[in-house]
Structure 1
Amino acid sequence: MGIKNKNKMIIGRRVKVNEDNLFVKLPEDSRKEEYLRLKDRLKSLVVDDIYNKIETAKILSLINEKKLYIFDGYKSFYGFLADFKIAKSQAYKYIKIASGMEQGVIDYDFIINNGIENTIKKLGSKNIVKKSKHNLTKQLCFEFKSQDSYDFYKRDTKFMCFVLDELFINNKEYLENLHKKYEHKLQKGI
C-alpha cells in the first residue's frame, strides 16, 4: 500500500508484566519511598520548566522589541514565531511575563509559586504589555489605476503613509483642491 516509512520503529514488550501484581509485590514503605522520589522529581521538573519558560519569555520579548527577527529575513514577528512552532497567544503571554518582570511587578519566586497561568491572570488586570503602535490607526485599502503607481507605493508602504500624513498636515489646502478636482471629474463622468 504505497511507500513504507523506513524510519518507523515498532517497539514491543519483551516481558509481559501484570501491572496489578507489580504494586502488590512492593512493601508499603517501598511504595511510599517511590512516591516521594517521583514527587520530588516532578517538582524539580516543574521548576526547571518554569525557569525555561521565563528564559523563553525574556528572549521572545527582546527579539520582538528590538525587531531582531529581520536578520533571518522575517518581515514580521509572526513569521518568526511560526518557524519556531510557537503560538501567537503563547508568545504574547510570555512577553507579558517578561514585561511584568522588567517593571518589577513580579519576580521568579512569584512565577514559581503561582505558575505561568496564575501569573498571567495577575498581570491581566494591569496594563503591563506596551500597546503596539501599529494598531493605533485604522488601515485603508487603495485601488490604483496605474500599475506603475501601485508598484511605487507597494515598495514602501510606510513611505506612502508618511507622504499622505505630510500632505494632510502641511498642505491641507492642496488636498482640498485635489478633492474638488476629483469631484468635478466624477460629475462629468470621466
Structure 2
Amino acid sequence: MGSKVKDMMIKIKDRIMEDKNQGIVVSDFGYEIMERYKYLKERLVFNFQKEIHNKIENMKILKEIKDNQYYKLDNYKNFEEFTKNYRIAKSQAYDYLRIANALEEKIVEENYIVQNGVQDALIFLRNKEGTKVKKSNRNIIKPLRFQLKTEQAYIYYKAKAKFTSFLLEKLLEDEKELLDKYEIEYGISKK
C-alpha cells in the first residue's frame, strides 16, 4: 500500500473560486461537496428541532410532576430535590415551568418555541406586558449583602435571617423617620 502512494501523482487544484459578480463558483467535483453540505445542514436543522421538541415535552413533564407533587412518591421533600437528582439546574427547571405555564395558558405556542428557541421564548415572556404568566417560585429580588462590624452582630443576624429581613422591611414601611434619623447619625460619625 505504501508503494502505491509513492507512485500516485496527486495534484490539488482550487475547486472553489470567488467571482466578485457571482459570489462563489463551485466546479463539478464541488457539486458532491455542496450536496453533502446541504444534507448536513438539513440534518442539523432536523436535529435541533427534534431537540427542541424533546425540551418542550420535558417542560410539560416537569410541570405535571410539580403541579401534582408526584416527586413525593419517591420520597423527595420538594421539587428542587427532585430536579437535583435528574441534574437539572434550579433556574433551568423554573424557566421550563414558566414556558410550560405559558403554553398551557396559550400565551405562547409550541411552534414559536420550535422556530425561535427556548431563550427567545423566555425573553418574549419576560417582555410580555399586561399578561399574567404564572411566575416560578424564584425570587426576582437579589439578596442583600453587607459587612457587619462585630462578630456578635453577625452571629445574631445570621441565626435569624428571616427575622432580619422582616425587621428591615417593617422599619422601611413603618419607621422611615427612625431610619432617616440613624442615617443622619451615621453620616456625622463618618466625618
* TM-score, length-scaled by structure 2: 0.55
**Equivalent position to 2:117, from 111, 115, 136:** 115
Corresponding residue for 2:133?
128
Aligned positions, number = 116
Whole-angstrom distance in 1 between the partners of 2:85 and 2:136: 24
Larger relative strand fraction: 2
Displacement of 1:140 after TM fit? 5.2
Structure 1 unmatched runs, 5+: 1-20, 142-190
Displacement of 1:62 after TM fit? 1.0
Q: Which amino acid aligns with 1:129?
A: K
**Equivalent position to 2:34, from 32, 35, 40:** 32
Whole-angstrom distance in 2 between the partners of 1:51 and 1:85: 20
RMSD between superposed Cα atoms in Å: 2.7
**Equivalent position to 2:59, from 57, 77, 84:** 57
Identity of aligned residues (%): 33
Displacement of 1:130 after TM fit? 3.8
Q: Which amino acid aligns with 2:134?
A: V
Displacement of 1:131 after TM fit? 5.5
Whole-angstrom distance in 1 between the partners of 2:134 and 2:111: 20
Whole-angstrom distance in 1 between the partners of 2:47 and 2:101: 25
Whole-angstrom distance in 2 between the partners of 1:53 and 1:116: 8
Displacement of 1:125 after TM fit? 2.5
**Equivalent position to 1:76, from 72, 75, 78:** 78
**Equivalent position to 2:68, from 52, 55, 66:** 66
Corresponding residue for 2:50?
48
2:98 and 2:136 in contact (8 A); partners too: no
Q: Which amino acid aligns with 2:65?
A: I
